[in-house]
């Protein structure tokens, strides 16, 4: 068969409110997920046995064994629908997104693999079913299956549409200081204060301005460079700049692609060591 292709679209959290710490160690959250039109690349073709190779700028240190989420979601779908329908695959993952960066790289890759398998071999499986199955491997994976703007509650796996957030095509700039931030310790360092629910209102920008990322303070404690990134982004006059997820990636939303590109050029000159990606929200 011809080669199969998918993209693990970069995820950002437009807002992330932590409401409570659960007895199981997870956290009750309210978050607005959005997705950028760029990310990691997955290619696959039928083979005699499953195998995964990883290349790209951020491949170093990533394991390609059975515990990789890309292979785990493949095995999960095979176990659910049968080996006769989901054959062994040789997979190539090209890592373009930084790791431990708050933009869902591993979850996005798992979701991309799930979509690839579904589209090639299980066309009757809808997004909701695929999200439920793949989401068992990680809270963010469910949102990454559709990779569309949505509200996530619970631990982020309970999803609903937010049609009033018409953000498709919004120019976005992602910036990371090339410092990994471990998600677990950031969540663990949350101070336990419930600062209230996501604001919901008719005005899109007011809604986003009134929201926040409750993980920013503990993330900055682990990675002070986040403050530098946000300061630089804010000076470039986006209409919103915020840290995504548990950090350290920050994003800036602009009104026009030219404004985004000018900001990217300025940052590239001032901080050539920082990673950045330009794109638009899906």
Annotated catalytic residues are: 11, 140
Write the CB contacts of 149 (distance below 8 Å, at least 6 apart in sequence): 14, 32, 33, 34, 35, 162, 165, 167, 168, 281, 282
**Tokens of residue 76, six digits:** 């999960």
Neighbouring C-beta atoms of residue 179, cutoff 10 Å: 17
Nearest to 236 by CA among 224, 252, 249: 252
Residue 224 backbone dihedrals phi, psi, to 5 degrees:
-60, -20
């Amino acid at each position: 068969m011809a080669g199969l292709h998918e993209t693990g679209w970069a995820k950002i959290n437009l807002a992330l409110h932590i409401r409570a710490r659960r007895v199981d160690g997870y956290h009750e959250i309210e978050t607005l997920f959005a997705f950028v039109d760029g990310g990691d690349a997955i290619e696959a073709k039928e083979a005699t046995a499953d195998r995964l190779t990883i290349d790209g700028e951020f491949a170093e240190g990533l394991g390609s064994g059975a515990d990789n989420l890309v292979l785990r979601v493949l095995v999960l779908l095979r176990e659910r629908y049968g080996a006769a329908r989901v054959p062994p695959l040789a997979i190539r993952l090209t890592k373009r997104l930084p790791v431990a960066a708050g933009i869902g790289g591993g979850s996005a890759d798992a979701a991309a693999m799930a979509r690839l398998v579904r589209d090639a071999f299980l066309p009757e499986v809808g997004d909701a079913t695929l999200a439920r199955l793949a989401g068992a491997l990680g809270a963010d994976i469910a949102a990454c299956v559709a990779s569309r703007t949505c509200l996530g509650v619970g631990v982020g796996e309970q999803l609903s549409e937010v049609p009033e957030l018409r953000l498709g095509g919004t120019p976005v700039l992602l910036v990371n200081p090339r410092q990994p931030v471990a998600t677990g310790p950031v969540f663990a360092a949350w101070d336990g204060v419930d600062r209230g629910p996501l604001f919901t209102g008719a005005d899109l920008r007011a809604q986003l301005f009134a929201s926040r990322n409750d993980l920013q303070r503990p993330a900055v404690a682990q990675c002070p460079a986040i403050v530098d990134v946000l300061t630089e982004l804010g000076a470039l006059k986006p209409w919103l700049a915020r840290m995504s997820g548990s950090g350290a990636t920050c994003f800036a939303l602009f009104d026009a692609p030219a404004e985004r590109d000018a900001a990217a050029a300025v940052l590239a000159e001032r901080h050539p060591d920082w990673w950045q990606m330009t794109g638009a929200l899906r």
